[in-house]
A and B are shown apart, each in its own frame.
Chain A
Amino acid sequence: MSAQAGGALRGGRLLRVVGGLVGLVVLVVLAVLPLLSGTSNATLLTLTLMLTSIGVAVNWNLTGGFTGYVDFGHAVWFGIGAYATAILISLQPNGPQVGWHPVPAIVVGALVAGVLAAAIGRATMRLKGPYFSIAMLGTFVAVREIVRVWSPLTGGGVGLTLPPYLNRQLFYYVELALVVLLVSFTWWLRRTRFGAALVAIREDEIGAETRGIDTTRLKTAIFSFAGLSTGLFGALWAYQNTFVDPDIAFVEVRTIDAVMGTMLGGLGTVAGPVLGAAALYWLREVLWANLLDYHLLTQGVLLIVVVLFVPRGLVGLVDRRGASLAEVWGWKGRRRGGGAADRLTEEGLGDSAAAGPAGGDRDGPAQARAGSEPGSGAQGETAAGGDAETEALS
């Protein structure tokens, strides 16, 4: 690690220790909360929904933040997990009446989402940048319509009712455990060769391929895992909600929340999606209570403000190791009148120049990190300084 990066890391280490301690305290509070007598079922439901939102954001970050494939239709796996589970449990007369026990139904529901994610990911992950984003948005809209018209299986637009099981405390603990597991997995992933290879795909996919990384296999694998995991949250949500229909199982807001939560917290960081999704969830609760109609408007404004002025997110403000938009999306402080002629075709080249040959071996992520460090600095300044002319860094 070079000297200039070393100083930033020492400061970062202290922050990470403090952050870890705060996280631990919050976790303990969350763990004992349901046992306190003052905690109502409504509070537990609110917290469970927040955990769902965090879980989906963490999953979105796996492809969107680490691999750099910005998915605009991630909520489709949530809906598929929810529907597969509902179909297996429901005994509704106009449904297929399978009548499984909820536990296997939830597991199979998540698996269905994972298998479909693997199949669809193989096709859509061949596409790059905005093409991938829109193809996933299309997948989302198309699947919702298929669910709506395939009424013998899905109950159509009427939806499916599930036998109620209202043990809020159980759902709460299951989801809390899931989120803790997922976050630990993300933390661990950042330290493995697999995680390094994913970041290498984000920084320079062609370079990664040249270094012998099977990019298609790896990115499809993480995409399928994210689909399966989001499907699991969907399956749990369906059982807890006791009712699904196409418009509540497949809502755009779920994707929007995952994207915005992750960006607000810090793209490609471990803590970012957790912080961002939780902050967004409470912000929404407050806005919803006080502003009603204006909450959507506020969210749109917030999205633009975050993209334009805080592209590194909350975590990025203190810890500079995560990915910024600059690294993920190939923008390196180029402003008006400077830089290359055609961004769409030159992005890949620009990236590889800044990031260096990131490989799948031990020094892969370190190189990628060291290479991208000054870029992030330049980018942060530009964001803060508004229209200031910033030199291209490379």
Chain B
Amino acid sequence: MSYFAQALINGIALGGMYTILVLGFSVIWGVMGVINLAHGEFVMVGAYLAWMASDFWDVDPFVSAPAVFGVMVLFGYLVQRVLVNRVINRSALVSLLVMFGVSIILQSIMKIAFSADFRLANTDLDGAWRLTDRLTIPVTRFWVLVVAVGVTAALSLFLGRSRLGKSIRAAAQNREAARIVGVDISKVYAVTFALCIGLTGVAGALVSPLLAVQPFQGPPLTLKAFAITAVAGLGSVRGALGGAMVLGLVEAMLALYVDRIGTNLAVVASFVLLVAALVLRPQGIFKGLRHVDATST
């Protein structure tokens, strides 16, 4: 029983991590219709920034996260101006390929700069809180969960209440109509992309003490972000939280009940979840910013 409770705790903690990892991807797709195949690489770049701060200047990733956010917002803005703007009006597959190119480029730059060695950032918020003999709460993951819930709430408020947030939602729902009523579409897209890449960088900083920081850590993260978003509804902030929790719990339960090989099967789980959800319910489970159907063009 206590094993089950521990798996439950682990699953929720993992879900918190996935929430913050998926938000940026989900909103970019929902608002701009761009599937950011380099998402995992932006996480990786954020993680490297936090690792550098931790390794060179001994700054905790939870402290350096706002700085990482700032740097990544600028980086996101640059990528949007130079590349994404050129493909934004083409079909989703063109941007898919271009972002795929970006992911290869980022991987190789990081490999050249830092080699393929695995690194971990140091945080003071580590260790575990003991509840009973066999029940513990992993401290880093707990704080990641707290930040994730906070960011989700803030993003939800921003999109729901603020003027800019409302124009972002308007652009996602009907671009032409939004343009006619005076929404500056190119500004909305620039802000959305920069903000989401900033968020993604923060996610990378937060997981830098948890997941090995290395140039090729991105693709599985992109795949999971895609799975969660497709199931949860594009650009749906609360959906992202729900979908991430489901995936976290599934993975934690697999690790508990399938001996030894559970963690390896996690990526299989996210894939099965993805295809099953898409085939059974192509329009997503939660209502997103954009209506889609995976089985029709």
CB–CB B271/A131 < 8 A: no
Does B187 belong to the interface (CB within 8 Å)?
A: no
- Residues of chain B within 8 A (CB-CB) of A351 are 297
B213 CB to closest chain A CB (Å) equals: 19
CB–CB A339/B89 < 8 A: yes
Given A70-B93, A344-B33: A297 touches B87 (CB 8 Å cut-off): no
Q: Which chain B residues numbered 51 to 88 have a C-beta less than 8 Å away from chain A? A: 83, 86-87
- Residues of chain B within 8 A (CB-CB) of A342 are 33, 174-175, 290
- Residues of chain B within 8 A (CB-CB) of A104 are none
Given A304-B101, A307-B98: A341 touches B261 (CB 8 Å cut-off): no
A152 CB to closest chain B CB (Å) equals: 12
CB–CB B174/A344 < 8 A: no
Size of B's binding interface in residues, CB under 8 A: 58
Contact segment of A42-50, A87-95, A140-148: A140-148
Contact of A127 among B96, B272, B295 (CB under 8 A): B295
Q: Which chain B residues numbered 32 to 62 have a C-beta less than 8 Å away from chain A? A: 33, 35
CB–CB A133/B294 < 8 A: no
A137 to B162, CA, bound (A): 37
Does A348 belong to the interface (CB within 8 Å)?
A: yes
B157 CB to closest chain A CB (Å) equals: 26
CB–CB B223/A344 < 8 A: no
Closest to A135 in B: B275
A340 to B177, CA, bound (A): 10
Contact of B261 among A149, A329, A344 (CB under 8 A): A149
Q: Which chain A residues numbered 305 to 335 have a C-beta less than 8 Å away from chain B? A: 307-308, 325, 328-331, 334-335
A252 CB to closest chain B CB (Å) equals: 7
Does A139 belong to the interface (CB within 8 Å)?
A: yes
- Residues of chain B within 8 A (CB-CB) of A107 are none
- Residues of chain B within 8 A (CB-CB) of A137 are 223
Closest to B86 in A: A308
CB–CB B297/A128 < 8 A: yes
Contact of A138 among B103, B109, B274, B296 (CB under 8 A): B274
Given A123-B275, A337-B179, A343-B91: A141 touches B96 (CB 8 Å cut-off): no
Contact segment of B15-23, B148-156, B235-243, B262-270: B262-270
Contact of A124 among B83, B186, B275 (CB under 8 A): B275
Residue-wise, chain A 9-23 has the 8 Å CB interface mask toward B (1 for contact) of 000000000000000
CB–CB A128/B294 < 8 A: yes
Does B292 belong to the interface (CB within 8 Å)?
A: yes
CB–CB B98/A130 < 8 A: no
A322 to B35, CA, bound (A): 26
Q: Which chain A residues numbered 122 to 174 have a C-beta less than 8 Å away from chain B? A: 123-124, 126-131, 133-135, 137-139, 141-142, 145-146, 148-149
Chain A contact residues, majority secondary structure: helix
Contact of B97 among A127, A138, A307 (CB under 8 A): A307
CB–CB B94/A325 < 8 A: yes
- Residues of chain B within 8 A (CB-CB) of A329 are 90-94
Closest to B105 in A: A300
Chain B contact residues, majority secondary structure: helix
A255 to B94, CA, bound (A): 17
A124 to B272, CA, bound (A): 11
A326 CB to closest chain B CB (Å) equals: 9
CB–CB B174/A131 < 8 A: no
B169 CB to closest chain A CB (Å) equals: 14
B241 CB to closest chain A CB (Å) equals: 21
CB–CB A341/B174 < 8 A: yes
A339 CB to closest chain B CB (Å) equals: 7
- Residues of chain A within 8 A (CB-CB) of B92 are 129-130, 329, 343-344
CB–CB B104/A299 < 8 A: yes
A134 to B274, CA, bound (A): 9
Residue-wise, chain B 254-296 has the 8 Å CB interface mask toward A (1 for contact) of 0000000100110110111011001100100000001111111
CB–CB A300/B223 < 8 A: no
Does A303 belong to the interface (CB within 8 Å)?
A: yes
CB–CB A252/B219 < 8 A: yes
- Residues of chain A within 8 A (CB-CB) of B112 are 293-294, 297
CB–CB A297/B109 < 8 A: yes
Does A336 belong to the interface (CB within 8 Å)?
A: yes
Closest to A259 in B: B97
Contact of B91 among A256, A303, A330 (CB under 8 A): A330
Does B160 belong to the interface (CB within 8 Å)?
A: no
CB–CB B105/A139 < 8 A: no
A141 to B266, CA, bound (A): 11
A79 CB to closest chain B CB (Å) equals: 15
A133 to B291, CA, bound (A): 19
- Residues of chain B within 8 A (CB-CB) of A347 are 91, 297
- Residues of chain A within 8 A (CB-CB) of B91 are 129, 325, 329-331, 343, 347
- Residues of chain A within 8 A (CB-CB) of B179 are 337
Does A345 belong to the interface (CB within 8 Å)?
A: yes
- Residues of chain A within 8 A (CB-CB) of B35 are 130, 134
Does B227 belong to the interface (CB within 8 Å)?
A: yes
Given A126-B295, A142-B271, A347-B297: A307 touches B107 (CB 8 Å cut-off): no
Residue-wise, chain A 274-299 has the 8 Å CB interface mask toward B (1 for contact) of 00000000000000000001101101
Does B127 belong to the interface (CB within 8 Å)?
A: no
Does A301 belong to the interface (CB within 8 Å)?
A: yes
The chain B residues found within 8 Å of chain A, CB to CB, are 33, 35, 83, 86-87, 89-94, 96-98, 100-105, 107-109, 111-112, 174-177, 179, 186, 219-220, 223, 226-227, 230, 261, 264-265, 267-268, 270-272, 274-275, 278-279, 282, 290-297
Question: Can you pick out 9 interface pairs between chain A and chain B where the beta carbons lie within 8 Å of each other?
Answer: A70-B96, A129-B297, A145-B268, A297-B108, A300-B108, A304-B98, A325-B91, A341-B176, A341-B177
Other A-B pairs beyond A128-B297, A325-B93, A337-B179, 9, CB < 8 Å: A127-B278, A134-B223, A135-B271, A149-B264, A300-B103, A303-B101, A331-B89, A343-B91, A348-B296
* The 7 A-B residue pairs with the shortest CB-CB distance in the complex, in nearest-first order: A300-B104, A138-B271, A300-B105, A296-B108, A348-B297, A303-B101, A329-B91
